[in-house]
Amino acid sequence: MATVALKDVSKVFPNGTLAVDNVSLDVNDGEFMVLLGPSGCGKSTVLRMVAGLEDPTSGAVMIDGEYANDLTPRDRGVAMVFQDFALYPHMTVEDNIAFPLKLTGMELTPREERVASVASALGIGDVLGRRPSQLSGGQRQRVAMGRAIVRRPRLFLMDEPLSNLDSGLRAELRAEISGLTRELGVTTIYVTHDQAEALTMADRVAIMRRGVLQDVGTPTQVYGRPATLYVAAFLGSPRMNLLEASVYVHLDRYVALNLGEQSLYLPWDDIRSRAVAHYHGERIVVGMRAEALTPVAPDAPGDVLQGRIRFLEHHGHESLAFLDVGATAVVVDEMGRRVDVDDTDSGSRGLRRGLGQMVQRLTGRSA
């Protein structure tokens, strides 16, 4: 097991590309850390610098508190799994998994035992005699993982290991990989651009954009309280509703969020009121997840926002309504209501804040 610390790490490639921009990140012992971000944001470069396959231009990579910049990949005690599996085609599954142990000079009997236990943990004990060409994609990926963990590395690095597999298999292997690494207690850094993968597998997620670290936290934290507008808009499907509002505090009784022609009122005893109250007189951005807004009849009593339905989208397990609330597009989860496309309640919908609603200042003064 190991800790990893990146301290002000940057990478500029010889062609001038700034791939990683002053990233600092701590990965705890035994933690499953996911690096998430769109293509080209620098995730793989971070991983490769931890592995020792790429040198940082500046900053320090620490493994177990030790300055690792000058260590060779081999001396870092890391194992890496890539998306293309990279198995030896002429070797059997058993020999593929055993290969790293052979290099260390391990005797045959303990080697066979180690391979058998890894293969059984990965559910590939019955294909040890086959060659990679005789395996399914999922089995090949399990072999690649087996070969990586058989040496009992202190650090496991994975770069989009599931991206070549179909979605059913991906979901299955997701659970297997996170289960296995937790069982082994190996510190893992896992790179993906797939947010479902990140949110389901990670202990903590680190979100990157254009080489810059945007947010680090548990899946619940980054989803519910994103640190930046970028993360708020990037995470979650549908994306978080972001409404610009002016804040008015009314004599310590309630806080009004003025959204143009309509307002939302937060009672003073609602803890979220305090969070926004000190922006009195300023414009802020309020983030609300679709599932935090309760759809009600447009004429429902109380504090109800009015929206005009633009269209409905059915996803089997949920229906989403896309609305215009004033000039802002808002999406709301119809919460299991069976809504037909032609049943749009004469085109309008009331929205009531649900208990799970989040009001958060996401950005600096926008006006």
Rounded Cα distance between 189 and 301, Å, is 50
Q: Do residues 361 and 276 touch, judged by C-beta distance below 8 A?
A: yes
Q: Which of 32, 42, 219, 264 binds ligand ATP (CB under 6 A)?
A: 42
Stretch that binds ligand ATP, among 37-45, 109-117, 174-182, 352-360 (CB under 6 A): 37-45
Q: Are strands 78-81 and 155-159 parallel, antiparallel or unpaired?
A: parallel
Chain positions 165 to 204 lying near ligand ATP, rule: CB under 6 A, are 193
Residue 39 is a binding residue for ligand ATP (CB under 6 A): yes
Which residues have a Cβ under 8 Å from the Cβ of 192 and sit 6 or more positions away? 34, 35, 36, 43, 160, 162, 163, 198
Least distance from ligand ATP to the Cβ atom of residue 20, Å: 7
Element (H, E) at 174: helix 167-184
Q: Which residue's CB is nearer to ligand ATP, number 160 or number 333?
A: 160
Chain positions 5 to 34 lying near ligand ATP, rule: CB under 6 A, are 13, 15, 17, 19
Element (H, E) at 264: strand 263-267
**Per-residue buried b or exposed e for 163-184, using 16+ beta carbons within 10 Å of the residue's own CB:** eebeeebbeebbebbbebbeeb
Residue 272 is a binding residue for ligand ATP (CB under 6 A): no
Cα–Cα–Cα angle for 157, 163, 169, rounded to 5 degrees: 105
Q: Which residue's CB is nearer to ligand ATP, number 19 or number 232?
A: 19
Q: Do residues 215 and 229 touch, judged by C-beta distance below 8 A?
A: no
Least distance from ligand ATP to the Cβ atom of residue 198, Å: 13
Q: Which residue's CB is nearer to ligand ATP, number 43 or number 289?
A: 43
Residue 84 is a binding residue for ligand ATP (CB under 6 A): no
Residue 37 is a binding residue for ligand ATP (CB under 6 A): yes
User: Which tokens go with 172?
Assistant: 């299955």
Q: Which residue is nearest to ligand ATP (CB)?
A: 44
Residue 310 is a binding residue for ligand ATP (CB under 6 A): no
Q: Which of 4, 23, 36, 43 binds ligand ATP (CB under 6 A)?
A: 43
Residues engaged in binding ligand ATP (CB under 6 A): 13, 15, 17, 19, 37, 39-45, 193
